[in-house]
Copies of this chain bind each other. A is one copy, B any other.
Amino acid sequence: MIRVSAIQQLCNMPQAQAYQHSAELIFTASNNGADLVVLPELHSGAYFPQREDKQFFNLAQSIPGDFTKHFASVAKRAGVVLVSSMFEKHNNKYFNTAVVFDSDGTIAGIYRKTHIPEDPGFYEKFYFANGDGQIKPITTSLGKLGVLVCWDQWFPETARTMAARGANMLIYPTAIGTIPEDNDNGAFLDAWITIQRSHSIANALPVISVNRVGLEEDLLSTVKSIDFWGHSFITSAMGELLAQADETPQIIYADIKLDNTLKTRRMWPFYRDLRPSLYSLPRSICD
């Protein structure tokens, strides 16, 4: 049994304050028995992709660096496996990168966001190159973590690839919300939950999806503000909602058993019947 937790936090604050705020929440989660703690996407300050501005490239850090030094220390002191998210500079490229720390403070692995969105107010293609690595789980003392990031959550292929490569759970640090012109009556939020639950169902894996929360204004942005809608959640290996946040800052928890995946795959034996030779996603449609 593993207790997992999702820290749905306010992020719109100076970096030093955000480092401290996340650290305090990680210690709180640890004190509440969490073995695994997941932070939202790019949690160390305002969501800078609200606008395209070259100065924000100064926020990027290398690995190792101040960011990894800080959160390695927090993970070790809290005694938790920690999934964090940062703006990474690597050689001449910049990535949207999740960094996983084991509970001894070592870096268990990193994952560079595979799919990069680009929408008014979410100008990520300006900042981030496409992830350049394999889609594969990160091995930790708690098992193999299928860490993906935000926009990846809309692609069943990323979940399947992680699962086929042995992930024990799927984890999505996220930054999603509405801009003032949005008027979708909640259809987008509902779709966001639905598609991630479907990855849980198709692969018999728990899903931990952790969103930012709160209104972030940027008067120089074309959209002027984004209201990050929270609603982080954790599913069972059958896609059931074990815990779900509302639209306020909070930490949610769930106790999960990794061997439920084996049991669920015997009950729902989709893997027995996969026929990869018949599936086609022509590379020509996007490469």
Contacts and interface: CB of A to CB of B under 8 A. Distances in A.
Interface string A110-145: 000011111100000000001000110000000000
A160 B194 contact: no
B160 A279 contact: yes
For A157, A270, A282, A285, the residue with the greatest tally of chain B CB atoms inside 10 Å of its CB is A157
Interface stretch (A57-65, A148-156, A253-261): A148-156
A276 B272 contact: no
Q: On chain A, which size bracket covers the interface? A: 35 or more
A16 to B, nearest CB: 34
Contact of A135 (B134, B278, B283): B278
Contacts of A198: 156, 194-195, 197-199
Given A154-B268, A268-B154, A281 B160 contact: yes
Contacts of A160: 156-157, 279, 281
A262 interface: no
Contacts of A201: 154, 191, 194-195
Given A194-B197, A201-B195, A187 B279 contact: no
Interface of A: 114-119, 130, 134-135, 151, 154-158, 160-161, 164-165, 187, 190-191, 194-195, 197-199, 201-202, 238-240, 268-283, 285-287
For A130, A154, A198, A271, the residue with the greatest tally of chain B CB atoms inside 10 Å of its CB is A198
Contacts of A114: 275, 278
Per assembly, the copies of the chain total 2
A142 B273 CA distance: 32
Q: List the 8 closest A-B pairs by CB distance, nearest first.
A: A198-B198, A156-B156, A157-B279, A274-B286, A115-B273, A276-B281, A195-B198, A191-B201
Given A194-B198, A281-B164, A130 B268 contact: no
A32 to B, nearest CB: 27
